[in-house]
Amino acid sequence: MERAGRIISKLKSARKHFTLEDLSCAAWPAAVGKRLASRTRAVTLKGNRLIVEVEDDLWRRNLEVLQPQILRNFADLLEGAAPTHIEFRIGIPRRPPQREEAPGAFTLTSPVARIKDDADGIADPVLRRIYINSRRKALAS
């Protein structure tokens, strides 16, 4: 049974809807696997060079070693539409999604939840932090 990527890359009618960039970026998780795809992101295709963002320099160096194997996987998936080179770049760290708090919601940092503390009387922030940490250690033991 032939992979769908091979069939789609051969169809002329599919090229009206999908560019080679779309096919290459979509094939990235299949070419490298789930674990590597979760740490990397195929960004664009420039000529026959696929640009991939990685987390840091260590990932970049390790993936450059695996590049021939990844390119073989691409050739198996896309045949003639496969990129011939992969450029790994260190990407901008992305912030994970965060929850939006409803206005007026009760949180531990809201003024309503703030309880009077002995440390509030200490004006120096460094000494206040030292006091809070030492109190926490004393209560833990």
The distance from CA 5 to its chain's CA centroid, rounded to whole angstroms, is 24
pTM more than 0.85 = no
Q: What is the pLDDT of residues 85-116, one digit of tens each?
A: 999 999 877 677 777 766 655 555 555 445 66
Structural domains in the chain, sorted by start? 4-90 (3.30.300.180), 109-141 (no CATH)
Give the strands of the sheet with 40-46, arranged side by side: 40-46, 49-54, 85-90
Pairing of strands 49-54, 40-46: antiparallel
Q: What is the pLDDT of residues 42-52, one digit of tens each?
A: 999 898 899 99
Spatial distance between the Cα atoms of 17 and 19, rounded to a whole number of angstroms: 7
Partnered with residue 53 across adjacent β-strands are: 41, 89
